[in-house]
Amino acid sequence: MAQSIGVGGERMDIHEYQAKELFRAVGIPVPAGEVATTPDEAARIAQELGGTVVVKAQVHAGGRGKAGGVKLATHADEAREHASNILGMEIKGLTVGKVLVTAAEEIASEAYVGVLVDRRTQSPVFMVSPEGGIDIEEVAATNPDAILRLHVDPRYGLLRHQAYRLADFLYSDPKLAKQATRIVTLLYRAFTANSCSMAEINPLIVTADGEVKAIDAKVSIDDSGLRGLPALETLRDVGAEPASETKAREADLSFVKLDGDVGCCVNGAGLAMATMDLVKYYGGEPANFLDIGGSSNPDKVVAALEIIASDPNVKAILFNIFGGITRCDDVARGIVEATRTTRIDPPIVIRLTGTNETEAMEILNQAGFSAFTSMDEVVERAVQLAAEA
């Protein structure tokens, strides 16, 4: 079996310029630079930096360079021009709202350094490669010997000899290895201090005068770790995600928007996925993943229904609730309340079973809803309704 390294956990991606701030805070050398939201601001930063600068789109997507989101500018006017082209640009469906303007560096060589939490070994794992500047998964596929993986025992943290071993794999020149040892050590410090699930420097460059520097930075933060680090929550770029997902997060719902037309509202992540799969099985396409969680709070049901109904693609909405801790009557009350206060256009079909099932059926019947007890039936019916709409 191929050794697969998986990033574990829900996570918050932050922008390159934010990641570089975290790096700078622990002492990792990064080029001077600032973020701009207007072309004039970009020109001012370029002026202040002097010399050649790089204007880089700040979006949560790879391949910015290929998409024309990264440009060199030799003077402030050119930086303004590039910024005006890049701001507002769409990259992989995401609109660019910010550019990072940094001093350009003369690059002698490019390497890769990354650390993430590996679920198989349940520990942080470093991956480094002297082949930097390109996608590390590509290097892994085409030239696996060019990557060194090193697991960090969480009881000891990254030990000095391990940091040196990583650096020694990157550079045969002892002066460069010494700098890289320090950078790797600091990267691990930033990784743990900010509860990251992933932190990456790509490329880590050697400049013309032999300095090792982080040119691009990518960091994902473990959402569970954010609780203890409220300062990091401010790094979240709400503009970079669909509005429905922002609303879901605020309502404490697990939600992922998809492209289909059958809206799904389920309690429990596994059951929610199985419900989506069943939609597909019966010939439909799910419009979303949504888990209302274990709570019986009717407010959550209301918020869930509103989020699903606000998607114009949705042609039918299905509820699939297995009452264990969640009480079916609470969910039923939430559905009735939501449809009373908000206009929900698509038809709603409901399956409820388990705790307080009988009371729930009564509530729904009184409000004019009919309900199923089998999962297959409700999904088949929802797909049919969506197809007919």
Partner 1 sequence: MAVFIDTETRLVVQGITGRDGSFHTLQMAESGTRVVAGVTPGKGGQVFEIENGGRVPIFNTVDRAVKETGANTSVIYVPPAFAAGAIMEAADAGIAFIVAITEGIPVLEMSKANAFVRDRGSRLLGPNCPGLISPGKAKVGIIPAQITTPGPVGVVSRSGTLTYEAVDQLTRAGIGQTTCIGIGGDPIIGTNFIDCLSAFRDDRDTEAIVMIGEIGGTDEQEAATWAKENLGKPVVGFIAGQTAPPGRRMGHAGAIISGSSGTAEEKIRSFKDNGVAVATRPVEITDLIKESLGI
Q: Which of residues 114-153 bind partner 1 (CB under 8 A)?
A: 117, 119-120, 122-124, 137, 153
Give the range of 30-38, 79-87, 205-213, 320-328 binding partner 1 by CB under 8 A. 320-328
Size of the site for partner 1 (CB under 8 A): 73
Alpha-helix runs per DSSP H in the chain:
16-26, 39-49, 76-86, 136-142, 160-170, 174-193, 223-226, 230-233, 243-250, 269-281, 298-309, 328-341, 357-366, 375-388
Burial of 106 (0-12, 13-18, 19+ CB in 10 A): exposed
| CA 365 from centroid of its chain's CA atoms | 41
Between β-strands 254-257 and 196-207, what pairing exists: parallel, antiparallel or unpaired? unpaired
- Catalytic status, residue 200: yes
With H, G, I as helix, E, B as strand and everything else as coil, classify residue 38.
coil
Residue whose token pair is 């407010």: 299
Q: Is 192 in the site for partner 1 (CB under 8 A)?
A: yes
With CB under 8 A as the contact rule, the residue among 51, 66, 145, 160 that binds partner 1 is 160
Round to whole Å and give the CA distance between 269 and 273. 6
Q: Is 334 in the site for partner 1 (CB under 8 A)?
A: no
Catalytic residue among 112, 171, 357, 380: 112
With CB under 8 A as the contact rule, the residue among 65, 161, 370, 389 that binds partner 1 is 161
Catalytic residue among 78, 110, 200, 380: 200
Q: Is 258 in the site for partner 1 (CB under 8 A)?
A: yes
Give the range of 48-56, 275-283, 299-307, 357-365 binding partner 1 by CB under 8 A. 275-283
Q: Is 271 in the site for partner 1 (CB under 8 A)?
A: yes
Cis peptide preceding 203, ω within 30 of 0: yes
Q: From edge to edge, which strands make up the β-sheet containing 33-36?
A: 33-36, 99-103, 53-57, 70-73
User: What binding mask, one character per residue, do residues 280-319 give for partner 1 by CB under 8 A, x or -?
Assistant: xx----x--x-x--x-------------------------
Q: Are 187 and 23 a contacting pair, CB within 8 Å?
A: yes
Give the range of 37-45, 82-90, 99-107, 322-330 binding partner 1 by CB under 8 A. 322-330
- Catalytic status, residue 380: no
With CB under 8 A as the contact rule, the residue among 1, 51, 209, 388 that binds partner 1 is 1
Please give the positions annotated as active site: 112, 200
